[in-house]
Amino acid sequence: MIVAGIMSGTSLDGIDVAIVDIAQLSPFRFTLLATHAEPYAAEVREAILGVSDCQAHTADLTRLHVLLGELYADAVERALSANGLGSRLELIGCHGQTIFHQGDTRPYLGRPIAGTLQIGEPSAMAERFGVPVVSDFRPRDMAAGGKGAPLVPFLDSLVFGDAHTPRIALNIGGIANLTAIPAGGKPGELIAFDTGPGNMVMDSLVRRATGGRETFDADGARGRLGRPIEDFVRMELEENPYYAATPPKTAGREQYGDAMVSALESTGRPLEDLLATAALMTARSIAVGVTRFALPYLRTELPGAELFVAGGGRHNGFLMDLLAGELPGLRIEGTERFQLPIDFKEAIAFAALAYATIAGQPGNVPSATGARHAAVLGKVTR
């Protein structure tokens, strides 16, 4: 079955599309046919920011919901036509654009309520391609008591599960998260959690220092020239109770936002030192997650597992070197060997999740989301 997976993340870069031919889920057999990244126009990014987690006009929110569905359809159309796939598409899985997420319940009008809102109306895609569209994957897990995230462990379990070698799938986006999969485990037997910061502290430092002209430290070239402030990293890891907390756990983006960036800047050290510090903090907090939680769960020690990295952080050679230094002997490589280009792993995950839904199979991994039970995720539009 030829399936398009569509992801657009909270970094608001744009729309990632992966077209895969899925032969079966278990064991997972698929062929990656095409990938396509479509950046958001500036006014679309502005409109998303305008409705995200703040006051918004209900009319604007609705129109943006419909417009994003059209843009998703455009992106899929380009991915298909640029790769000669014409009318072969059979199914679409679309994550949508998150504009609000609260994984834990809080009182609202007298009830404990959690909630998540992904926009991007799927009907335009169903109309344009004449295929079913699965969308809005997170609420069903939350109705089963889960946090609605992370959902990518479903793909990690399918792809990285191995009879003999325990494996760790690491994704370094704004926040870094990992999935640890034991050797010879059953499908869905894993732990998954956020390790702490990914790229977001580094990215913020660069944006603020350049007035927004640059948005990231390409390949970590600037950070590599700096000297990290060891005390800053040590104190963060010792004083923030997050790193010692037992998974499953979710790191809040607010932990690595303006307050931390300002604290770094207030040291008066040059940008290169600050970037080196942020990179070290990312590498070391990942290493803490690996050694303190992942390896014990996998019943192994440092050289006994393999680590596969995806996400933007994989492009940062300096960060990768630091990570290797923090995890001596561990085999670390990108996810490409598994037909998962590091920038399209999430899009492929939503293709696989859509396939599961249409096959009537659960897509959430309860040990990752905290759900009481597995559930068939998403909403199907025809």
- The C-alpha atoms of residue 11 and residue 174 are separated, in whole angstroms, by 7
- The C-alpha atoms of residue 268 and residue 40 are separated, in whole angstroms, by 35
Name which position in 65, 147, 224, 314 contacts its own copies (CB under 8 A).
65
Binding residues for its own copies restricted to 214-253, rule: CB under 8 A = none
Q: From the CB of residue 382, how many other CB atoms can be counted at a distance below 10 Å? A: 9
Nearest to 129 by CA among 167, 94, 173: 94
- The C-alpha atoms of residue 56 and residue 116 are separated, in whole angstroms, by 16
Binding residues for its own copies restricted to 15-34, rule: CB under 8 A = none
Closest approach of Cβ 22 to its own copies, in Å? Answer: 19
- The C-alpha atoms of residue 271 and residue 238 are separated, in whole angstroms, by 24
Nearer to its own copies, 289 or 363 (CB): 363
Name which position in 10, 25, 37, 52 contacts its own copies (CB under 8 A).
52
Q: Does 376 bind its own copies (CB under 8 A)?
A: yes
Closest approach of Cβ 298 to its own copies, in Å? Answer: 32
Closest approach of Cβ 310 to its own copies, in Å? Answer: 28
DSSP per-residue letters across 228-240: --HHHHHHHHHH-
| Strand-pair partners of 179 | 169, 192
**Contact region with its own copies (CB under 8 A), list: 67-75, 79-87, 174-182, 263-271:** 67-75
**Contact region with its own copies (CB under 8 A), list: 61-69, 155-163, 241-249, 310-318:** 61-69
Binding residues for its own copies restricted to 82-111, rule: CB under 8 A = 99-100, 102, 108-109, 111
Binding residues for its own copies restricted to 180-199, rule: CB under 8 A = none
Do residues 294 and 191 make contact, with C-beta atoms less than 8 angstroms apart? Answer: yes
Nearer to its own copies, 112 or 328 (CB): 112
Alpha-carbon torsion angle 337, 341, 188, 101, nearest 10: 160
Q: From the CB of residue 327, how many other CB atoms can be counted at a distance below 10 Å? A: 21
Closest approach of Cβ 242 to its own copies, in Å? Answer: 23
Alpha-carbon torsion angle 216, 346, 191, 371, nearest 10: 120
Q: Does 61 bind its own copies (CB under 8 A)?
A: yes
Closest approach of Cβ 59 to its own copies, in Å? Answer: 6
| Strand-pair partners of 244 | none
Tell me if residue 257 falls in helix, strand or coil.
Answer: coil
DSSP state of 290: I
CA angle 353, 293, 216 (to 5 degrees): 65
Tell me if residue 335 falls in helix, strand or coil.
Answer: coil
Name which position in 21, 70, 162, 306 contacts its own copies (CB under 8 A).
70
- The C-alpha atoms of residue 170 and residue 160 are separated, in whole angstroms, by 11
Nearer to its own copies, 114 or 351 (CB): 114
Q: Does 375 bind its own copies (CB under 8 A)?
A: yes
Name which position in 44, 181, 280, 281 contacts its own copies (CB under 8 A).
44
Name which position in 67, 237, 324, 359 contacts its own copies (CB under 8 A).
67
Binding residues for its own copies restricted to 115-174, rule: CB under 8 A = 115-117, 121-124, 126-127, 135-136, 139-140, 142-144
Do residues 285 and 245 make contact, with C-beta atoms less than 8 angstroms apart? Answer: no
Nearer to its own copies, 171 or 364 (CB): 364
Name which position in 23, 49, 82, 113 contacts its own copies (CB under 8 A).
113
- The C-alpha atoms of residue 262 and residue 323 are separated, in whole angstroms, by 25
Q: Does 254 bind its own copies (CB under 8 A)?
A: no
Q: Does 359 bind its own copies (CB under 8 A)?
A: no
Q: From the CB of residue 84, how many other CB atoms can be counted at a distance below 10 Å? A: 9
Where along the sequence are the contacts to its own copies (CB under 8 A)? 41, 43-44, 47, 51-59, 61-67, 69-70, 99-100, 102, 108-109, 111, 113-117, 121-124, 126-127, 135-136, 139-140, 142-144, 357, 360, 375-376, 378-382
